[in-house]
Amino acid sequence: MSFIKYESSILSYISSIRKYFGLSSSYEDNSDFSRYIQNEKPNKIFLLLIDAMGANLIEQKLSKDSFLRKHMLYKTTTVFPTTTTAATTSIRNGKAPNENAWLAWTQYCKQVDDIIIPFKGDSYYGDVNYGNREFFESIVPVAYTTNELNEKGIKSRILFPSFEKDGCEDFDTLCNRLIKYSRSNEYNYIYAYWDKYDTYCHEHGPSNRICDAYLAHINYEIERLCDNLADDTMLVVVADHGQIDVKRYYDFRNSKFEKCFLRLPAGETRSQFFYIKEEYKDEFEKMFKEEFDDDFILLSKQEVIDQKIFGERDNHELFASFLGDYLAIAKSDLVFVNKDEEAMIKGHHAGICDDELMIPVIAYKKGC
């Protein structure tokens, strides 16, 4: 069983960009996209990632003559799971989640015997902070494309929203800064990330008109950005995943499953790691399949490893330590709940529905 063909996933397109700058990759480049880049010979490539802007949402919500639809060269799959922690890390370094071991919003960390949020360093179920993102990076360091290029003397940087130092307050500001850098010779490669569309989709559901309006704004601003790019700059726009509307929830608190738990679940509410007491494993499997067979795929830890659903190359040495005894993968609109805040989310991702899996590769350079 494989949900993603990694050889033709977003990793192949990232490999094309890395190849253009002389970097190696775990996966082969996409020959068509590599040819496209080589033909245009940009001096600068800016990679802009819009969180949750799945290809299907673009096609459903924007008109055929919209800028993003007109310049969408390809639709491809993201990585598994279809979530920001795994996908943005993979897009930033060209390796699959199993190679990076950055797998999900929450991961069990045996070093502190706690389930933490890698991006924040916070305990997910408790109130301990272990030292922000740098804590998890100290355990599982990542060599990003920007780091590799700077080491080669190719000037590169990242641009984030205001939650990071020197971040952008709004999307217009981020686009203005990309215009500024395009017109200068400061950087040859920029990775830029924007999160607000994902936030609105979580809060309202991706079918909500608020999300539609914000997507239209993104389309407008990216068109303005491209109109003002220098001739030597190529903009590539991608997403980490899409989103679906969720209306059904299953709360594990005070459920028949609670007695089985060795510790609370980790991972994602639509790709959940379960830690099960040895004496309850058979019962857990039976109950789970009876309850959720139409909504989730249940895999044992060994099946997860054997089926290479997190990636097809060699596993990171810590990869297996972050897996639970079981992994449940959503194939419907159902979401698991272990905290109050999880029941408030109206749009979500991390499962394997088409709207979650499919992402765009949009490219623009003046004259092409």
pLDDT of residue 151: 98
CATH for 6-102+142-245+353-364?
A: 3.40.720.10
**How many CB atoms within 10 Å of residue 195?**
18
Percent of the chain at pLDDT above 70?
99
Picking from 85, 135, 122, 104, the residue whose alpha carbon sits closest to that of residue 265 is 104
Mean pLDDT of 339-365: 97
Distance separating the N- and C-terminal Cα atoms of the chain: 40
pLDDT band at 346 (very low <50, low <70, confident <90, very high): very high
pLDDT per residue as tens digits for the range 43-94: 999 999 999 999 999 999 999 999 999 999 999 999 999 999 999 999 999 9
The structural domains of the chain, with segments of one domain joined by +, span 6-102+142-245+353-364, 248-348
Q: At what angle do helices 31-40 and 10-20 cross, to 10 degrees?
A: 30
Q: How far apart are CA 173 and CA 167, in angstroms?
A: 9
pLDDT of residue 366: 85
pLDDT of residue 2: 66
Q: At what angle do helices 196-204 and 209-227 cross, to 10 degrees?
A: 170
Q: How far apart are CA 343 and CA 189, in angstroms?
A: 40
- In 166-310, which ranges are continuous DSSP H helix? 171-182, 196-204, 209-227, 281-292, 301-307
pLDDT of residue 368: 61
pLDDT of residue 1: 53
Q: How far apart are CA 168 and CA 176, in angstroms?
A: 10
pLDDT of residue 190: 98
pLDDT of residue 3: 79
Residue indicated by tokens 């993102």 = 133
Percent of the chain at pLDDT above 90?
96
CATH for 248-348?
A: 3.30.1360.180
Would you say residue 288 has pLDDT above 60?
yes
> Are the C-beta atoms of residues 80 and 240 closer than 8 Å to each other?
no
> Are the C-beta atoms of residues 313 and 298 closer than 8 Å to each other?
no
Beta bridge partners of 44: 233
Phi, psi of 23 (to 5 degrees): -100, 150
How many angstroms from the chain centroid is the CA of residue 65? 27
Answer whether 0.95 is exceeded by the pTM: yes
Give me 72's structure tokens.
């969408």
pLDDT of residue 132: 85
Would you say residue 367 has pLDDT above 90?
no
pLDDT of residue 247: 87
Mean pLDDT of 145-163: 97
Would you say residue 13 has pLDDT above 80?
yes
Residues with Cβ within 8 Å of 276's Cβ and at least 6 positions away in sequence, in order, are 260, 261, 262, 284, 324, 325, 326
pLDDT of residue 131: 85
pLDDT per residue as tens digits for the range 167-226: 999 999 999 999 999 999 899 999 999 999 999 999 999 999 999 999 999 999 999 999
pLDDT per residue as tens digits for the range 239-260: 999 999 998 999 999 999 999 9
Picking from 5, 64, 12, 110, the residue whose alpha carbon sits closest to that of residue 361 is 12
Q: How far apart are CA 324 and CA 263, in angstroms?
A: 10
Mean pLDDT of 263-274: 98
Sign of CA dihedral 88, 89, 95, 96: negative
Would you say residue 114 has pLDDT above 90?
yes
**Residues 144, 318, 91: CA angle, nearest 5 degrees:** 25
Phi, psi of 101 (to 5 degrees): 70, 15
> Are the C-beta atoms of residues 210 and 218 closer than 8 Å to each other?
no
